[in-house]
Amino acid sequence: MDSLNISVIIPIYNLEQFLDPMLKSLKEQDIGDYTMEIIFVLNNCTDNSEEKIRQSCLNCKIMQCEIQGCGPARNVAMDVAQGEYIWFMDGDDWLLSNTAIKDVLDKAYSQNLDILRIPFDTNKFPWRYFSMVWQYLLKRDYINEFRFPHIQPAEDDAFMDMVLHKAGYTRTTYIGLPHMETPLYYYNYLREGSNMYRYIILKEKI
């Protein structure tokens, strides 16, 4: 199979009631002459997430990962991804423009970038953090030596530490990476049941 321009990788764990915005925003994407694959990785779902995805009629691949966690699920997709670039997304978030994917690829290809930072919007996120992996477009060959650890939450931390170190950036200087000028991604902050929600609630109880 010839390489595609981009692989969108989305781990899914019991997101049936939250999937509509992401599915809609992906279906509405105008990617121009670019080629794309969308890979959903079901992570021991016990709800109707798979049926929801199939009913959307979105052109996508659906895979399974029995090891629990976003990290292992993303790794499963990375092992088969064909895109020159990878954009990791979360199933309960969504894209803010119907040309978001085309826009990031335009910039990445025109500047031959290994990493492109993608600004985001959110409902109540009080700070920006280096490791939120969906805020980067990543060249697959550049990150192919790395995989996510089998931990949660904060599996992004270890992965992005390695990627940023390779690029000569750190947790505090990542903001200087080449970036899009406007937010293209919406982060659904602290959705009840998410890894971040469980992490924040646990910290508050300690």
Q: How far separated are the first and last CA of the chain, in Å rounded?
A: 51
Using only C-alpha atoms, the chain has a radius of gyration, in whole angstroms, of: 16
pLDDT at 154: 82
Label the pairing between strands 120-122 and 185-187: parallel
- Residues 81 and 39 sit within 8 Å (Cβ to Cβ): yes
Domains of the chain with bracketed CATH: 4-205 (3.90.550.10)
User: Per-residue b/e over 152-186, b at no fewer than 16 CB within 10 Å?
Assistant: bbebbbbbbeebbeebebeeeebeebebbeebbbb
**Res 125: pLDDT:** 65
Structure confidence at residue 194 (pLDDT): 53
Is the Cβ–Cβ distance between 120 and 91 less than 8 Å?
no
- Position 123 scores a pLDDT of 82
pLDDT at 191: 52
State which residues of the chain have pLDDT below 50.
Answer: 1, 197-206
Nearest Cα to Cα of residue 98 among 183, 9, 184, 186: 184
10 Å CB burial of residue 203 (0-12, 13-18, 19+) is: exposed
